[in-house]
């Protein structure tokens, strides 16, 4: 690959398929889709290095996230050091607004490799701060995320329009998104302005040959059965899911889940599927439907937590969920989530509790029964089945290492343990630390089910007892917290029932009462848990808790151990693994995408334990093993049989394979149609032919063109006018697709930092764009009111643009609440819906015009229409508008989230809020201020409110 | 703006042109009466409205313009209540957007007779209402405010909010908590922890 007259380039691509890919992508512009885990980033860094070493380049990396930036930078520096290339400059990053225009301009002029946040890049390209013609090439990562209206597609379009010579290479290691929709690959290629896809699945011949040769990694699969309790809970959750879904069906939202089986719940992100189906009409569905969809998300997280959390944490999590599902004040009790009323919900909560402690009489039953021994609580503390397996595996490794001492091997005997996230890491670390500590050796008399096993058997008993102690402590606090939150709710609720009692219907007879009548005794037991459950939680008999506490009191042995549980997990390792060398460690790490390659390379483990399955990681191990002749590796791979985890693993493997198969088929079709449009310049033109072609098209070629229908409208009118129409766009608006479409609609888009409005299309017309979702939230926060106010101050014709999504229903009328709108008096008193807020807004600002647009495409056309016969806007003036004298435009750029959070604090009003953001740096600082400090900024009363909001302690009431 | 005149009629005035319009059936909670007015509806001292069905507009595109001309410059807030009852609404809406700019109309869309009736009722009943409900946050109870505050960063939900305050006791402590501490709460994955910590620690303004 290093061609003549180029400085030597040393690459780090040991495997054959990697070299093939590199040579191919180096010589041609194409879209590379590589199976996950086969080292995509490595190909990218090598490619970048080969350009970097050559020097005199301006190469832009698009779409890299923070972590990838870090890695690419590191890898480039490393490569440069190895190949001693004097020209290499390494990676420069442009990723915050903090970098001034001047600084950026200087950097660009120096050349090199840049990774630039898309939002900044597009602005720089449009403002010619970075002249597209000077760019040597564009490297696009995460190509799967690029849709026609995305900002990256916009970047590529600008680049290709101005620069036909530079290279353009796109990368992805996520084939699934390429297969949704109609002829998706072709669409994607259009968006990328590329013509050749290059597909490298795991079953590619070269890949298979490279990985399945002599140096195969040894993989041992361990199927761990779930405990009976876990199975019960899983089944109960699935039942709840099923009921929730049938409830959704009943609501008549037209959800299609024909193939719905319990099994599919196991291996699919069912809540996401449903959300996606409802998305087109999300702003119209009723509160209840929305609530059930949220419930599904909650249920799925419980399903996940069941496998990953230990029994105590799981129970704690359930307590939190239960308390969070208390009915909000002002709502009637029918708003409870339906799954909480099910018997299975009861099963979930009861079984989860039984995994922690037992011996309590059944709730709701008569407590008059004798206060026997049965009545006292005693700990159960079920352990996660995988823990025991881990202990066994470690034992086996230990023996293995003893009998086969390290010989002519480059790996260093470390055990690498991989799991899904940090909290699991923490759990495992704690387990490994404590598994050989025996609690209660002194007072075994209390321990009812004392284990007769020898001390050698590791167990999590010590750890679990500690957790239980913490849990009981926490619960006391928690009861208080929810009590102090709940009493308020209760008051509001009572207020509500009084009110509705006066009007004379609804809200009477709490549903759990009715349930009891209908459902009989079984439901009664369930109902006890549901409605007033917080109270129930708090109501664990004090005496019982006391005995439980006494039972698990730290013994002397415990007390001795207690202090050493600290962050340093490796402190005492030598005690347990004396046979090992000093350098031998157990390293626990969460899966972290491509970063895992690094870990393998650095740790050079001889043994890997995969606590949870991860398809990509297995491949990484394969790649790692094949890349190094002299490093043996053995992988233990464990999963719960018949669980979500197993299904998820299997389905990801299958889905990826299917995706590649489909892609390969589609590629065959595409190449047979042979991209007749010639050089890339034509591609730019052809994208504009679309949009008008409605109706059925049978001609395959036209058909093909139509697939880019989601493209820009009306580029056909490139007719030469004296001056192209201009639109001044706020830089923050580049997150949306509208600027891209305006550009595609042959308007000149001028990015500016605007203080007032989002778009200025003439000296008089200023437009604030709101999607329906934004509209709801900015009505709620009062932001829209303030924005409308300032627009009116500065412009003659301010406009509010309400923009619907392309695929979403073009209406505000909610389905389910349609009938209630006939009795509009109630709604008139309770101005909560969008319509009434809109009415209030227009009444408050009669001069504010409202534009309704069914999609961003339509908006672009409307803008064009509005601009007719109007003067062109002046960007300099537009920027100045709304600025207080002496202010720089950049001073007005805020971080949205903390700003909104501050607005939500009681006591903060439209007036003092400005002051606060000016004088105080961060939300944290506001939270830590005293009343006296707040007083001069916001006033006494408001200051007190703000202070109280942050400082009110929920532990005391 | 004119001072609200308490003696003003409490009913919606309807032009006799609108006789037989089904949206009148949807006006139920407020009284209405026929009257001789240039607009279709009078919804207050300074507010009037035209009603336009896109279906009708497609057949008689000039109709609305003659009506607007007849109205002249009267009324402060002139609503053009438009019913979207055809599929190809894009072009007429584009045209009406332009019209609303030129003729100082406020375009309000509705999709059913009920909704149209509702808008009329709302305009009339809010005639003197203050705009407080859209001016600032409306949460009432402490728990509600607390929940709202914590759930503003993306992907943090109700359960997480409760978990957070129950672990730290007050919002101040939750704001000051270190990422590792928050990470130990069940349900708080890395992403949520990072979002929360970033939101409370990043400056309000990008540059100072």
Nearest CA in chain B to A839: B123
Asked whether residue A228 is domain-assigned, the answer is: no
Cβ–Cβ of A841/B98 closer than 8 Å?
no
Residue A94's DSSP bridge partners are A116
Q: State the pLDDT at residue A876.
A: 85
Q: State the pLDDT at residue A373.
A: 41
Nearest neighbour of A922 by CB, restricted to B79, B163, B200: B200
Nearest CA in chain B to A485: B143
pLDDT tops 50 at residue A520: no
Cβ–Cβ of A835/B162 closer than 8 Å?
no
Asked whether residue A84 is domain-assigned, the answer is: yes
Q: How close, in Å, is residue A298 to chain B by CA atoms?
A: 9
The answer on A846 and A786 residing in a single domain is yes
Over range B160-173, report the average pLDDT: 87
- Residue A72: give its domain's CATH number: 3.40.50.300
Burial, B28: exposed, middle or buried (Cβ in 10 Å; 0-12, 13-18, 19+)?
middle
Highest mean pLDDT of the ranges A5-19, A586-600, A671-685, A916-930: A916-930
pLDDT tops 90 at residue A728: yes
Q: State the pLDDT at residue A452.
A: 44
Look at A119-128, A271-280, A646-655, A823-832 and tell me which has the smallest mean pLDDT: A823-832
Q: Are strands A357-358 and A378-379 parallel, antiparallel or unpaired?
A: antiparallel
The answer on A820 and A922 residing in a single domain is no
Asked whether residue A158 is domain-assigned, the answer is: yes
Mutate to test the interface with A, among B134, B181, B196 (most CBs of A within 10 A): B134
Cβ–Cβ of B184/A423 closer than 8 Å?
yes
Cβ–Cβ of B111/A920 closer than 8 Å?
no
Contacts of B157 in chain A (CB under 8 A): 294, 297, 324
Query: What's the pLDDT band for A568 if we cut at 50, 70, 90?
Result: very low
Helix or strand or coil: residue A404? Answer: coil
Over range A625-631, report the average pLDDT: 81
Cβ atoms of A142 and A172 within 8 Å: the answer is yes
Contacts of A831 in chain B (CB under 8 A): 126, 133
Nearest CA in chain A to B152: A901
Q: State the pLDDT at residue A258.
A: 59
Asked whether residue A256 is domain-assigned, the answer is: no
Look at A114-118, A364-368, A849-853 and tell me which has the smallest mean pLDDT: A364-368
Asked whether residue A765 is domain-assigned, the answer is: yes
Cβ atoms of A459 and B147 within 8 Å: the answer is no
Give the number of other Cβ atoms within 10 Å of residue A936's Cβ.
11
d(Cα A874, Cα A763) in Å, to the nearest integer? 7
Cβ–Cβ of A316/B119 closer than 8 Å?
no
Q: Which residue has the tokens 């609609």?
A: A745
Contacts of A836 in chain B (CB under 8 A): 122, 126
Over range B155-166, report the average pLDDT: 85
Nearest CA in chain A to B203: A922
Nearest neighbour of A317 by CB, restricted to B139, B186, B202: B186
Query: What's the pLDDT band for A16 if we cut at 50, 70, 90?
Result: confident
Closest CA to A185 of A146, A141, A224, A134: A146
Nearest neighbour of B171 by CB, restricted to A779, A910, A950: A950
Query: What's the pLDDT band for A100 if we cut at 50, 70, 90?
Result: confident
Contacts of B122 in chain A (CB under 8 A): 824, 828, 835-836, 839
User: What are A318-359's pLDDT values in tens digits?
Assistant: 988 888 876 655 555 556 778 888 888 888 888 888 888 876
Q: State the pLDDT at residue A504.
A: 35
Contacts of B46 in chain A (CB under 8 A): 846
Which strand ranges, in their side-by-side order, compose the sheet holding A197-200?
A: A91-94, A112-116, A58-62, A137-140, A167-172, A31-34, A197-200
Closest CA to A61 of A41, A33, A84: A41
d(Cα A873, Cα A762) in Å, to the nearest integer? 4
The answer on A862 and A738 residing in a single domain is yes
Q: State the pLDDT at residue A95.
A: 74
Q: State the pLDDT at residue A582.
A: 37
Query: What's the pLDDT band for A489 if we cut at 50, 70, 90?
Result: low
pLDDT tops 70 at residue B83: yes
Look at A76-80, A138-142, A431-435, B200-204 and tell me which has the smallest mean pLDDT: A431-435
Over range B161-165, report the average pLDDT: 87
Q: State the pLDDT at residue A61.
A: 92
Q: State the pLDDT at residue A842.
A: 92
The answer on A951 and A836 residing in a single domain is no
Q: Which helix (H) or strand (E) holds B117?
A: helix B113-125
d(Cα A263, Cα A158) in Å, to the nearest integer? 47
The answer on A811 and A662 residing in a single domain is no
Cβ atoms of A154 and A743 within 8 Å: the answer is yes
Q: How close, in Å, is residue A814 to chain B by CA atoms?
A: 10
Contacts of A784 in chain B (CB under 8 A): 134
Cβ–Cβ of B109/A852 closer than 8 Å?
yes
Note the maximum CA span of chain A.
97
Q: Which residue has the tokens 């505050």?
A: B149
pLDDT tops 70 at residue A815: no
Contacts of B187 in chain A (CB under 8 A): 301, 305, 317, 320
The answer on A812 and A666 residing in a single domain is no
User: What are A529-554's pLDDT values in tens digits?
Assistant: 333 333 344 345 555 666 666 666 65
Over range A35-50, report the average pLDDT: 89
Query: What's the pLDDT band for A441 if we cut at 50, 70, 90?
Result: very low
The answer on A783 and A901 residing in a single domain is no
The answer on A708 and A804 residing in a single domain is yes
Helix then strand count (H, E) for chain B reads 9, 6
d(Cα A656, Cα A857) in Å, to the nearest integer? 33
Helix or strand or coil: residue A268? Answer: coil
Which among A691, A720, A740 is the end of a domain? A691
Closest CA to B175 of B203, B199, B191, B151: B199
Cβ atoms of A60 and A139 within 8 Å: the answer is yes
Cβ–Cβ of B106/A848 closer than 8 Å?
yes
User: What are A139-198's pLDDT values in tens digits?
Assistant: 999 988 888 888 899 999 999 888 888 899 999 988 888 877 677 888 888 888 888 889
Cβ atoms of A811 and A284 within 8 Å: the answer is yes
Range of the domain at A48: 16-211
Gyration radius of chain A over CA positions: 32
Q: How close, in Å, is residue A159 to chain B by CA atoms?
A: 28
Beta-strand ranges (E) seen in A340-453 are: 357-358, 378-379, 415-419
How distant, in Å, are the alpha carbons of A98, A139, A252 from that of A700?
50, 31, 38
d(Cα B73, Cα A808) in Å, to the nearest integer? 37
Q: State the pLDDT at residue A689.
A: 35
- Residue A903: give its domain's CATH number: 1.10.150.20
Nearest CA in chain A to B114: A822
Look at A422-436, A575-589, A610-624 and tell me which has the smallest mean pLDDT: A575-589
Sequence-ordered list of residues with C-beta below 8 angstroms from that of A413, at least 6 positions apart, any chain: A401, A406, A580, A581, A583, A584, A605, A606, A607
Cβ–Cβ of A955/B183 closer than 8 Å?
no
Q: State the pLDDT at residue A155.
A: 92
Q: State the pLDDT at residue B67.
A: 92
Q: State the pLDDT at residue A209.
A: 86
The answer on A45 and A82 residing in a single domain is yes
User: What are A635-660's pLDDT values in tens digits?
Assistant: 898 898 888 788 888 888 888 898 89
Q: State the pLDDT at residue A464.
A: 83
Residue A765's DSSP bridge partners are A797
Sequence-ordered list of residues with C-beta below 8 angstroms from that of A649, at least 6 positions apart, any chain: A613, A614, A615, A639
Q: State the pLDDT at residue B87.
A: 86
- Residue A711: give its domain's CATH number: 3.40.50.10130
More confident of the two residues A782 and B102? B102
User: What are A222-267's pLDDT values in tens digits?
Assistant: 889 988 999 999 889 888 888 888 887 777 666 666 556 666 665 5
Q: State the pLDDT at residue A457.
A: 67
Look at A91-95, A180-184, A204-208, A853-857 and tell me which has the smallest mean pLDDT: A180-184
Beta-strand ranges (E) seen in A291-448 are: 357-358, 378-379, 415-419
Q: State the pLDDT at residue A594.
A: 78
User: What are A660-684's pLDDT values in tens digits?
Assistant: 998 998 888 876 654 444 444 444 4
Q: Which tokens go with A91?
A: 């990676």
Mutate to test the interface with A, among B135, B140, B176, B184 (most CBs of A within 10 A): B135
Cβ atoms of A738 and A863 within 8 Å: the answer is no
User: What are A687-715's pLDDT values in tens digits?
Assistant: 433 333 333 333 333 333 333 333 344 44
**Which pairs count as long-range contacts for A89-95, CB under 8 Å and 24+ apart, including other chains?**
A89/A52, A89/A55, A89/A113, A90/A52, A91/A48, A91/A61, A91/A115, A93/A69, A94/A120, A94/A121, A95/A66, A95/A69, A95/A120
Sequence-ordered list of residues with C-beta below 8 angstroms from that of A541, at least 6 positions apart, any chain: none
Cβ–Cβ of B142/A922 closer than 8 Å?
no
The answer on A930 and A877 residing in a single domain is no
Q: How close, in Å, is residue A895 to chain B by CA atoms?
A: 5
Which among A664, A691, A718 is the end of a domain? A691
Over range A45-65, report the average pLDDT: 87
More confident of the two residues A181 and A77? A77
User: What are A872-887's pLDDT values in tens digits?
Assistant: 888 888 888 877 665 6
Contacts of A489 in chain B (CB under 8 A): 141, 143
Q: Which residue has the tokens 């693993």?
A: A649
Helix or strand or coil: residue A140? Answer: strand
Asked whether residue A206 is domain-assigned, the answer is: yes
Q: How close, in Å, is residue A313 to chain B by CA atoms?
A: 7
Contacts of A865 in chain B (CB under 8 A): 94-95, 97-98
Q: Which tokens go with A202?
A: 């795991």
d(Cα A186, Cα A190) in Å, to the nearest integer? 6
Cβ–Cβ of A954/B111 closer than 8 Å?
no
Nearest CA in chain A to B92: A862
Contacts of B135 in chain A (CB under 8 A): 782, 785, 910
d(Cα A576, Cα A412) in Å, to the nearest integer? 18
Query: What's the pLDDT band for A579 if we cut at 50, 70, 90?
Result: very low
pLDDT tops 50 at residue A820: no
Q: State the pLDDT at residue A268.
A: 59
Q: How close, in Å, is residue A548 to chain B by CA atoms?
A: 22
d(Cα A297, Cα A161) in Å, to the nearest integer? 44
Over range A443-452, report the average pLDDT: 43
Cβ–Cβ of A852/B206 closer than 8 Å?
no
The answer on A193 and A87 residing in a single domain is yes
Contacts of A897 in chain B (CB under 8 A): 152-154, 195, 198-199, 202
Nearest neighbour of A843 by CB, restricted to B77, B100, B143: B77
d(Cα A301, Cα A296) in Å, to the nearest integer? 9
d(Cα B170, Cα B15) in Å, to the nearest integer? 59
User: What are A273-292's pLDDT values in tens digits?
Assistant: 777 777 767 766 777 788 88
Domain count, chain A: 4
Q: State the pLDDT at residue A496.
A: 45
Size of interface A-B (CB pairs under 8 A): 305
Asked whether residue A377 is domain-assigned, the answer is: no
What is the average pLDDT score of chain A? Answer: 74
Over range A581-606, report the average pLDDT: 76
Cβ–Cβ of A824/B121 closer than 8 Å?
yes
Nearest CA in chain A to B26: A822
Closest CA to B24 of B36, B35, B12: B12
- The Cα angle at residue A746 between residues A162 and A873, in degrees rounded to 5: 110
Over range A378-401, report the average pLDDT: 84
Which among A883, A913, A936 is the end of a domain? A883
* Range A672-703 burial, b when 16+ CB lie within 10 A, else e: eeeeeeeebeebbebbbebbeeeeeeeeeeee
Helices (H), A760-855: 772-781, 783-794, 824-829, 834-844
ipTM of the complex: 0.87
Nearest CA in chain A to B166: A478
Q: How close, in Å, is residue A98 to chain B by CA atoms?
A: 6
Over range B133-141, report the average pLDDT: 69
Q: State the pLDDT at residue A196.
A: 87
The answer on A853 and A745 residing in a single domain is yes
Gyration radius of chain B over CA positions: 25
Cβ atoms of A85 and A64 within 8 Å: the answer is no
d(Cα A307, Cα A301) in Å, to the nearest integer? 10
d(Cα A709, Cα A690) in Å, to the nearest integer? 5
Sequence-ordered list of residues with C-beta below 8 angstroms from that of A476, at least 6 positions apart, any chain: none
Asked whether residue A803 is domain-assigned, the answer is: yes
Closest CA to A289 of A326, A331, A335, A256: A335
Closest CA to A810 of B120, B98, B82, B89: B89
Residue A31's DSSP bridge partners are A170, A197
Q: State the pLDDT at residue A372.
A: 42
Closest CA to B18 of B2, B42, B1: B42
Mutate to test the interface with B, among A802, A843, A893, A954 (most CBs of B within 10 A): A843
User: What are B2-46's pLDDT values in tens digits?
Assistant: 544 444 568 899 999 998 899 998 888 888 889 888 999 999 888
Task: Please tell me what DSSP assigns to residue A483.
Answer: H
Nearest neighbour of B111 by CB, restricted to A314, A811, A862: A811
Cβ–Cβ of B166/A924 closer than 8 Å?
no
Cβ–Cβ of B166/A477 closer than 8 Å?
yes
Task: Please tell me what DSSP assigns to residue A802.
Answer: E
């Amino acid at each position: 690959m290093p061609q003549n007259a180029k400085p030597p380039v040393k690459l780090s691509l040991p495997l054959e398929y990697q070299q093939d890919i590199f040579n191919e992508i180096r010589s041609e512009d194409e879209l590379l889709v590589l199976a996950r885990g086969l080292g995509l980033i490595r190909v990218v860094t090598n490619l970048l290095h080969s350009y970097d070493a050559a020097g005199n380049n301006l190469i832009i990396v698009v779409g890299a996230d923070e972590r990838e930036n870090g890695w690419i930078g590191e890898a480039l520096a490393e490569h440069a050091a190895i190949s001693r290339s004097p020209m290499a400059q390494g990676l420069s990053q442009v990723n915050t607004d903090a970098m001034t225009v001047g600084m950026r301009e200087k950097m660009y002029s120096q050349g090199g490799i840049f990774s630039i946040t898309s939002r900044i890049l597009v602005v720089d390209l449009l403002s010619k701060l970075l002249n597209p013609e000077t760019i040597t090439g564009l490297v696009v990562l995460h190509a799967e995320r690029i849709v026609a209206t995305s900002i990256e597609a916009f970047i590529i379009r600008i680049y290709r329009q101005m620069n036909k010579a530079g290279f353009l290479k796109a990368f992805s290691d996520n084939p699934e998104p390429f297969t949704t929709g109609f002829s998706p690959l072709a669409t994607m290629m259009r968006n990328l302005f590329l013509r050749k896809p290059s597909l490298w699945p795991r079953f590619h011949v070269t890949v298979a040959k490279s990985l399945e040769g002599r140096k195969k990694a040894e993989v041992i699969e361990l199927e761990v059965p779930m405990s009976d309790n876990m199975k019960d809970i899983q089944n109960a959750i699935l039942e709840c899911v099923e009921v929730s879904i049938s409830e959704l069906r009943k609501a008549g939202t037209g959800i299609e889940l024909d193939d719905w089986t319990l099994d599919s719940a196991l291996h699919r992100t069912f809540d996401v599927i449903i959300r996606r189906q409802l998305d087109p009409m999300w702003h119209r569905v009723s509160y209840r439907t929305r609530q059930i969809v949220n419930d599904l998300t909650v249920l799925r997280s419980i399903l996940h937590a069941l496998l990953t959390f230990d029994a105590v944490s799981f129970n704690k999590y359930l307590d939190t969920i239960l308390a969070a599902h208390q009915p909000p004040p002002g709502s009637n009790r029918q708003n409870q989530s339906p799954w909480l009323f099910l018997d299975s919900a009861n099963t979930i909560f009861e079984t989860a509790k039984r995994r922690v402690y037992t011996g309590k009489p059944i709730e709701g039953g008569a407590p008059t029964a004798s206060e026997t021994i049965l009545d006292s609580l005693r700990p159960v503390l079920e352990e996660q089945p995988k823990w025991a397996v881990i202990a066994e595996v470690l034992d086996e490794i230990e023996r293995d290492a003893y009998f086969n001492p390290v010989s002519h091997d480059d790996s260093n005997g470390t055990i690498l343990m991989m799991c899904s996230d940090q909290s699991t890491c923490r759990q495992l670390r704690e387990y490994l630390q404590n598994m050989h500590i025996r609690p209660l050796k002194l007072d075994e008399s209390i321990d009812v089910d004392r284990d007769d096993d020898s001390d050698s058997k590791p167990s999590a008993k010590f750890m679990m007892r500690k957790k239980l102690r913490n849990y009981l402590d926490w619960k006391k606090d928690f009861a208080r917290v929810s009590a102090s939150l709940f009493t308020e709710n209760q008051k509001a609720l009572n207020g509500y029932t009084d009110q509705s009692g006066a009007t004379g219907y609804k809200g009477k007879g709490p549903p759990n009462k009715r349930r009891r009548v209908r459902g009989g005794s079984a439901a009664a037991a369930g109902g006890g848990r549901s409605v007033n459950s917080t109270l129930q939680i708090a109501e664990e008999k004090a005496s019982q808790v006391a005995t439980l506490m006494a039972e698990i009191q730290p013994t002397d042995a415990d007390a001795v151990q207690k202090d050493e549980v600290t962050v340093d997990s490796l402190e005492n390792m030598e005690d347990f693994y004396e046979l090992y060398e000093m350098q031998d460690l157990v390293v626990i790490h969460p899966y972290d995408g491509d970063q895992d390659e690094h870990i393998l390379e650095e740790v050079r483990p001889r043994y890997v334990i995969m606590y949870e399955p991860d398809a990509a990681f297995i491949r990484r191990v394969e790649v790692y093993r094949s890349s190094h002749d002299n490093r043996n590796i053995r992988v233990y791979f464990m999963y719960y049989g018949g669980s979500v985890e197993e299904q998820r693993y299997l389905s990801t493997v299958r889905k990826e394979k299917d995706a590649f198969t489909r892609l390969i088929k589609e590629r065959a079709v595409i190449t047979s149609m042979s991209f007749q449009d010639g050089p890339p310049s034509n591609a730019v033109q052809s994208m504009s032919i679309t949009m008008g072609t409605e109706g059925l098209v049978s001609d395959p070629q036209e058909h093909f063109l139509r697939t880019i229908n989601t493209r820009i409208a009306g580029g056909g009118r490139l007719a030469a006018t004296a001056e192209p129409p201009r639109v001044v766009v706020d830089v923050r608006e580049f997150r949306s697709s509208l600027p891209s479409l305006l550009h595609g609609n042959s308007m000149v888009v001028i990015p500016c930092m605007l203080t007032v409005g989002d778009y200025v299309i003439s000296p008089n017309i200023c437009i604030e764009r709101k999607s329906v979702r934004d509209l709801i939230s900015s009505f709620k926060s009062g932001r829209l009111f303030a924005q409308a106010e300032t627009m009116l101050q500065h412009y003659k014709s301010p406009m509010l643009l309400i923009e619907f999504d392309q695929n979403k229903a073009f209406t505000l009328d909610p389905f389910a609440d349609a009938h209630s709108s006939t009795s509009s008096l109630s709604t008139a008193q309770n101005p909560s819906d969008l319509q009434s807020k809109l009415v209030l807004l227009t009444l408050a600002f009669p001069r504010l015009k409202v534009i309704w647009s069914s999609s961003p495409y339509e908006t672009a056309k409307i803008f064009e229409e509005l601009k007719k016969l109007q003067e062109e806007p002046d960007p300099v003036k537009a920027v100045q508008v709304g600025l207080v004298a002496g202010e720089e435009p950049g001073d007005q750029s805020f971080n949205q989230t903390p700003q909104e959070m501050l607005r939500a604090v009681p006591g903060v009003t439209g007036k003092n809020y400005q002051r606060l953001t000016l004088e105080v740096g961060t939300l944290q600082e506001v939270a830590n201020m005293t009343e006296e400090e707040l007083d001069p900024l916001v006033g006494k009363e408001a200051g007190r409110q703000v202070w109280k909001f942050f400082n009110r302690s929920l532990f005391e009431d | 703006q004119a001072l609200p005149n308490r003696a003003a009629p409490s009913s919606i005035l309807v032009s006799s042109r609108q006789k037989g319009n089904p949206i009148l059936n949807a006006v139920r909670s407020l009284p209405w009466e026929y009257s001789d007015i240039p607009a279709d509806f009078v919804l207050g001292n300074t507010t009037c409205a035209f009603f336009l069905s896109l279906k009708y507009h497609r057949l008689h595109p000039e109709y609305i313009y003659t009506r607007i001309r007849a109205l002249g410059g009267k009324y402060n807030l002139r609503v053009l209540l438009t019913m979207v009852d055809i599929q190809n609404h894009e072009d007429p809406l584009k045209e009406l957007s332009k019209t609303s700019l030129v003729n100082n109309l406020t375009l309000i869309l509705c999709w059913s007779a009920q909704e149209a009736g509702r808008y009329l009722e709302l305009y009339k009943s809010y005639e003197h209402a203050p705009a407080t409900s859209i001016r600032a946050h409306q949460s009432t109870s402490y728990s509600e405010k607390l929940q709202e505050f914590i759930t503003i960063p993306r992907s943090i939900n109700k359960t997480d909010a409760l978990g957070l305050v129950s672990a730290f006791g007050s919002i101040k402590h939750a704001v000051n908590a270190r990422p590792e501490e928050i990470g130990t709460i069940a349900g708080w994955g890395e992403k949520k922890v990072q979002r929360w910590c970033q939101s409370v620690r990043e400056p309000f303004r990008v540059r100072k």
